[in-house]
A and B are shown apart, each in its own frame.
Chain A
Protein backbone atom coordinates (compact mmCIF):
# COMPACT_ATOMS: atom_id res chain seq x y z
CA UNK A 1 0.00 0.00 0.00
CA UNK A 2 1.52 3.33 -1.04
CA UNK A 3 -0.81 5.76 0.62
CA UNK A 4 -0.86 6.58 4.29
CA UNK A 5 -4.33 5.38 5.18
CA UNK A 6 -4.29 2.29 7.33
CA UNK A 7 -7.94 2.20 8.31
CA UNK A 8 -11.06 2.26 6.24
CA UNK A 9 -12.95 5.58 6.36
CA UNK A 10 -15.83 5.86 8.79
CA UNK A 11 -19.39 6.56 7.71
CA UNK A 12 -18.97 10.14 8.95
CA UNK A 13 -15.77 10.57 6.95
CA UNK A 14 -17.51 9.24 3.84
CA UNK A 15 -20.44 11.61 4.38
CA UNK A 16 -18.01 14.52 4.73
CA UNK A 17 -16.29 13.74 1.43
CA UNK A 18 -17.41 16.10 -1.36
CA UNK A 19 -16.83 13.25 -3.79
CA UNK A 20 -19.26 10.98 -1.93
CA UNK A 21 -21.75 13.78 -1.36
CA UNK A 22 -21.75 14.47 -5.08
CA UNK A 23 -22.45 10.80 -5.81
CA UNK A 24 -25.26 10.77 -3.27
CA UNK A 25 -26.82 13.93 -4.66
CA UNK A 26 -26.64 12.61 -8.21
CA UNK A 27 -28.31 9.37 -7.12
CA UNK A 28 -30.94 11.40 -5.31
CA UNK A 29 -31.82 13.43 -8.41
CA UNK A 30 -31.97 10.30 -10.55
CA UNK A 31 -34.36 8.75 -8.01
CA UNK A 32 -37.02 11.17 -9.29
CA UNK A 33 -38.23 12.03 -5.77
CA UNK A 34 -40.65 14.64 -7.09
CA UNK A 35 -42.52 12.21 -9.31
CA UNK A 36 -44.94 9.97 -7.35
CA UNK A 37 -45.31 7.61 -10.30
CA UNK A 38 -41.63 7.07 -10.99
CA UNK A 39 -39.86 7.49 -7.65
CA UNK A 40 -37.35 4.69 -7.28
CA UNK A 41 -34.24 3.85 -5.31
CA UNK A 42 -30.77 4.36 -6.72
CA UNK A 43 -27.52 3.30 -5.12
CA UNK A 44 -24.03 2.00 -5.50
CA UNK A 45 -20.70 1.28 -3.87
CA UNK A 46 -17.76 3.37 -2.65
CA UNK A 47 -14.30 1.95 -3.33
CA UNK A 48 -10.93 2.91 -1.93
CA UNK A 49 -7.91 2.34 -4.16
CA UNK A 50 -5.27 0.74 -1.93
CA UNK A 51 -2.40 2.12 -4.02
CA UNK A 52 -3.46 5.72 -4.48
CA UNK A 53 -5.93 6.27 -1.65
CA UNK A 54 -8.43 7.63 -4.15
CA UNK A 55 -12.11 6.90 -3.87
CA UNK A 56 -14.31 5.73 -6.73
CA UNK A 57 -18.02 5.03 -6.89
CA UNK A 58 -19.92 2.59 -9.06
CA UNK A 59 -23.66 2.53 -9.49
CA UNK A 60 -25.91 -0.47 -9.10
CA UNK A 61 -28.83 -1.34 -11.32
CA UNK A 62 -31.76 0.97 -10.73
CA UNK A 63 -34.00 -0.20 -7.90
CA UNK A 64 -37.74 -0.22 -7.38
CA UNK A 65 -39.95 2.20 -5.49
CA UNK A 66 -38.81 0.89 -2.11
CA UNK A 67 -35.82 -1.38 -2.69
CA UNK A 68 -32.47 -1.72 -4.38
CA UNK A 69 -29.99 -4.59 -4.56
CA UNK A 70 -26.44 -3.69 -3.49
CA UNK A 71 -25.32 -7.18 -2.57
CA UNK A 72 -23.06 -7.84 -5.54
CA UNK A 73 -20.43 -5.12 -5.96
CA UNK A 74 -18.24 -5.49 -9.05
CA UNK A 75 -14.55 -6.09 -8.24
CA UNK A 76 -12.15 -3.26 -9.01
CA UNK A 77 -8.47 -4.17 -9.28
CA UNK A 78 -6.47 -2.78 -6.36
CA UNK A 79 -9.53 -1.45 -4.58
CA UNK A 80 -11.84 -2.54 -1.78
CA UNK A 81 -15.41 -1.59 -1.02
CA UNK A 82 -15.49 0.81 1.94
CA UNK A 83 -19.12 1.83 1.77
CA UNK A 84 -22.45 1.70 0.05
CA UNK A 85 -25.01 4.38 -0.65
CA UNK A 86 -28.62 4.45 -1.70
CA UNK A 87 -31.66 6.68 -1.72
CA UNK A 88 -35.03 6.70 0.02
CA UNK A 89 -37.01 8.86 -2.40
CA UNK A 90 -40.47 8.46 -0.87
CA UNK A 91 -41.19 11.61 1.13
CA UNK A 92 -41.27 11.72 4.92
CA UNK A 93 -44.03 14.34 4.78
CA UNK A 94 -46.29 11.67 3.24
CA UNK A 95 -45.61 9.41 6.21
CA UNK A 96 -42.70 7.39 4.82
CA UNK A 97 -39.86 6.41 7.11
CA UNK A 98 -36.80 8.27 5.79
CA UNK A 99 -34.20 6.23 7.69
CA UNK A 100 -32.97 2.67 7.31
CA UNK A 101 -35.46 -0.18 7.28
CA UNK A 102 -34.97 -3.32 9.34
CA UNK A 103 -33.88 -5.01 6.12
CA UNK A 104 -31.31 -2.27 5.47
CA UNK A 105 -29.76 -2.81 8.90
CA UNK A 106 -29.66 -6.60 8.55
CA UNK A 107 -28.11 -6.58 5.08
CA UNK A 108 -25.59 -3.86 5.96
CA UNK A 109 -24.40 -5.67 9.07
CA UNK A 110 -24.03 -8.81 6.99
CA UNK A 111 -22.08 -7.04 4.23
CA UNK A 112 -19.77 -5.32 6.72
CA UNK A 113 -19.54 -1.81 5.30
CA UNK A 114 -21.37 1.40 6.21
CA UNK A 115 -24.32 2.44 4.09
CA UNK A 116 -25.18 6.10 3.52
CA UNK A 117 -28.85 6.65 2.85
CA UNK A 118 -29.99 9.90 1.23
CA UNK A 119 -33.55 10.88 2.14
CA UNK A 120 -35.53 14.08 1.82
CA UNK A 121 -34.49 15.23 5.28
CA UNK A 122 -30.82 14.35 5.22
CA UNK A 123 -28.34 11.49 5.24
CA UNK A 124 -28.77 8.42 7.46
CA UNK A 125 -26.22 5.75 8.36
CA UNK A 126 -26.74 2.00 8.58
CA UNK A 127 -24.35 -0.86 9.18
CA UNK A 128 -20.92 -0.81 10.84
CA UNK A 129 -19.08 2.43 11.51
CA UNK A 130 -16.40 1.47 9.01
CA UNK A 131 -15.47 -1.51 6.81
CA UNK A 132 -15.25 -4.49 9.12
CA UNK A 133 -11.74 -5.92 9.44
CA UNK A 134 -9.95 -2.90 7.99
CA UNK A 135 -8.65 -2.58 4.45
CA UNK A 136 -7.68 -6.20 4.19
CA UNK A 137 -9.61 -9.20 3.06
CA UNK A 138 -11.79 -9.65 0.04
CA UNK A 139 -11.88 -6.89 -2.58
CA UNK A 140 -15.65 -6.75 -2.41
CA UNK A 141 -17.31 -6.92 0.98
CA UNK A 142 -15.09 -8.09 3.84
CA UNK A 143 -17.27 -11.08 4.65
Chain B
Protein backbone atom coordinates (compact mmCIF):
# COMPACT_ATOMS: atom_id res chain seq x y z
CA UNK B 1 0.00 0.00 0.00
CA UNK B 2 1.38 3.36 -0.92
CA UNK B 3 1.87 5.68 1.98
CA UNK B 4 1.25 9.40 1.93
CA UNK B 5 4.42 11.37 2.47
CA UNK B 6 4.78 14.70 4.22
CA UNK B 7 7.53 17.24 3.92
CA UNK B 8 9.00 18.49 7.18
CA UNK B 9 9.75 22.10 7.96
CA UNK B 10 13.39 21.31 8.37
CA UNK B 11 14.26 20.14 4.91
CA UNK B 12 13.18 17.88 2.11
CA UNK B 13 13.32 14.79 4.30
CA UNK B 14 10.13 12.78 3.84
CA UNK B 15 8.51 10.56 6.41
CA UNK B 16 5.40 8.38 6.27
CA UNK B 17 2.34 9.99 7.78
CA UNK B 18 0.41 8.14 10.43
CA UNK B 19 3.14 6.73 12.61
CA UNK B 20 5.66 8.19 14.97
CA UNK B 21 9.08 9.07 13.72
CA UNK B 22 12.02 7.24 15.24
CA UNK B 23 14.87 8.73 17.22
CA UNK B 24 17.15 8.26 14.21
CA UNK B 25 14.74 10.17 12.03
CA UNK B 26 14.44 13.01 14.52
CA UNK B 27 18.23 13.16 14.76
CA UNK B 28 18.40 13.42 10.99
CA UNK B 29 15.88 16.28 10.97
CA UNK B 30 17.86 18.13 13.62
CA UNK B 31 21.20 17.51 11.98
CA UNK B 32 20.00 18.65 8.57
CA UNK B 33 18.86 21.93 10.06
CA UNK B 34 21.91 22.34 12.28
CA UNK B 35 24.34 21.80 9.43
CA UNK B 36 22.84 24.76 7.62
CA UNK B 37 23.66 27.10 10.52
CA UNK B 38 26.72 25.62 12.22
CA UNK B 39 29.86 25.19 10.13
CA UNK B 40 31.13 22.24 12.17
CA UNK B 41 29.16 19.97 14.49
CA UNK B 42 32.09 17.76 15.47
CA UNK B 43 32.63 19.60 18.76
CA UNK B 44 29.18 18.69 20.09
CA UNK B 45 27.73 15.80 22.01
CA UNK B 46 24.13 15.01 21.08
CA UNK B 47 21.41 14.00 23.49
CA UNK B 48 17.89 12.97 22.60
CA UNK B 49 14.80 12.27 24.67
CA UNK B 50 11.13 11.59 23.92
CA UNK B 51 8.62 13.21 26.22
CA UNK B 52 4.88 13.74 25.69
CA UNK B 53 5.12 13.06 21.99
CA UNK B 54 8.01 15.46 21.43
CA UNK B 55 11.60 14.61 20.64
CA UNK B 56 14.07 16.92 22.35
CA UNK B 57 17.41 17.03 20.59
CA UNK B 58 20.26 18.97 22.18
CA UNK B 59 23.77 19.63 20.94
CA UNK B 60 26.12 20.34 23.86
CA UNK B 61 29.80 21.24 23.69
CA UNK B 62 32.11 18.32 24.44
CA UNK B 63 34.74 20.64 25.88
CA UNK B 64 33.50 21.37 29.39
CA UNK B 65 35.94 24.27 29.87
CA UNK B 66 34.70 26.15 26.84
CA UNK B 67 31.91 28.68 26.72
CA UNK B 68 29.51 28.48 23.87
CA UNK B 69 26.41 26.80 22.67
CA UNK B 70 24.83 24.55 20.14
CA UNK B 71 21.46 24.04 18.52
CA UNK B 72 18.46 22.78 20.47
CA UNK B 73 15.30 21.32 18.96
CA UNK B 74 11.80 20.20 19.86
CA UNK B 75 10.42 17.94 17.14
CA UNK B 76 6.87 16.63 16.90
CA UNK B 77 7.21 12.86 17.15
CA UNK B 78 4.13 12.28 15.01
CA UNK B 79 4.77 14.65 12.11
CA UNK B 80 8.51 15.23 12.26
CA UNK B 81 7.98 18.97 12.20
CA UNK B 82 10.35 21.16 14.16
CA UNK B 83 8.20 22.78 16.83
CA UNK B 84 10.94 25.08 18.05
CA UNK B 85 14.65 25.53 17.66
CA UNK B 86 17.26 27.65 19.38
CA UNK B 87 20.69 28.45 18.01
CA UNK B 88 22.97 29.12 20.97
CA UNK B 89 26.46 30.53 20.64
Residues of A that sit less than 8 Å from B by CB:
37, 41, 43, 63-72, 86, 88-90, 94-97, 101-104, 107-108, 115
Contacts and interface: CB of A to CB of B under 8 A. Distances in A.
A103 B61 contact: yes
Give chain B's interface residue range (CB within 8 Å of chain A): 10 to 19
Majority-rule SS of A interface residues: loop
Interface in B40-86: 40, 43, 60-61, 63, 65-70, 85-86
Given A69-B63, A103-B61, A63 B68 contact: yes
B87 A104 contact: no
Contacts of B85: 95
A64 B67 contact: no
B67 A67 contact: yes
B24 interface: no
